[in-house]
Amino acid sequence: MKEKTIIKNIIISSPDKVIYPKVGITKKDIAVYYQKIGKRMLPYVKDRIISSVRCPQGTGSNCFYKKHLEANSRGLKKIIIPTKNGAKNDYYYITNTLGIISEVQMNTIEFHVWGSRVSKINKPDIMVFDLDPDESLNLEDVRDGVKDLKSILDKLGIISFLKTSGGKGYHVVIPFKPTCSWAKFRAFAKNIAGLMANTWPDKYVSNMRKTLRKGKIYIDWVRNTKSQTSIAPYSLRARDYPAVSMPIRWSELDKVAPNGINIKEAIARLKRKDPWENFFDINQELK
């Protein structure tokens, strides 16, 4: 009888199933990755509503988003959010590292999270700007975009952090104390993106219409809206290769490509000092 694969007391079914066919990464490999990265990842996913990307047959097949909890799984809880018209939507969130592995067992590859915690659902505390380049642009253009955004934030005295997206661009992430409404939070993010587009109209666009993006970088600020999500730090991406959305130092911007960190490199980086070590200790708020 074949020995069971158990990660954090959770039995991983079909552990040898290949999830990334181009590189032979299996479901077990993914579970082991999230087990090792779990402690570093947990502060950014714990008690935040999640939307997961699941790939039961691997990344080369039909993946789908999951926003609702269909079964009682360890480390996961359901939450009901009332809507403006009186309806009720059910979502779910992770409570501990068991929840991360429970999701992997259910074939989750990507973790997307809200910018607020369930305890203060209407007071966001993480702002994300996603720099999404047109296909005609090169990596240096994207890096210049990150630098331009950071220059604006620096002038405003706002401390920001950097991570790879695991895709084409970078994410600039800002911690705030949960003191303002989603409306004000969203308006501030929109204004920052608009300022970039107005200051450098030949380089950036803040409107999501794809017809306006040709030869430019879209500064995606819409993630900073209630019920919208962004890819969580340390999450894998469900693409051809197992790239990670990885927190990095600002000094690494010109050294690390947006999709340049894979499972192996991410685990190796755990031996280094956490580049986002003081993320939640930053005392800044929108007024």
**Residue 201, pLDDT score:** 96
**Residue 65, pLDDT score:** 95
Q: Which two tokens stand for residue 273?
A: 């000092």
Contact indicator for 205, 212 with CB cutoff of 8 Å? yes
**Residue 83, pLDDT score:** 78
Contact indicator for 247, 233 with CB cutoff of 8 Å? yes
CA 282 to each of CA 114, 163, 174, 216: distance values in angstroms, whole numbers, following the listed order: 19, 17, 9, 32
**Residue 115, pLDDT score:** 98
**Residue 211, pLDDT score:** 77
**Residue 270, pLDDT score:** 97
pTM for the full predicted model? 0.95
Contact indicator for 51, 106 with CB cutoff of 8 Å? no
Counting residues of the chain whose pLDDT is more than 90, the rounded percentage is: 89
Question: Domains of the chain, with CATH numbers?
Answer: 6-114 (3.90.920.10), 121-228+246-281 (3.90.920.10)
**Residue 22, pLDDT score:** 94
List all residues 6 or more positions away from 49 whose beta carbon is below 8 Å from its beta carbon.
Answer: 79, 81, 91, 92, 93, 113, 114, 118, 121, 229
Q: Which two tokens stand for residue 187?
A: 């308006």
**Residue 214, pLDDT score:** 87
**Residue 2, pLDDT score:** 65
pLDDT in tens, 199-256: 999 999 999 877 778 899 999 999 999 999 999 999 999 999 999 999 999 999 999 9
CA 75 to each of CA 65, 81, 103, 117: distance values in angstroms, whole numbers, following the listed order: 19, 20, 9, 16
Q: Give the residues of the chain that fall short of pLDDT 70.
A: 1-2
**Residue 169, pLDDT score:** 96
Q: Which two tokens stand for residue 172?
A: 């600039």
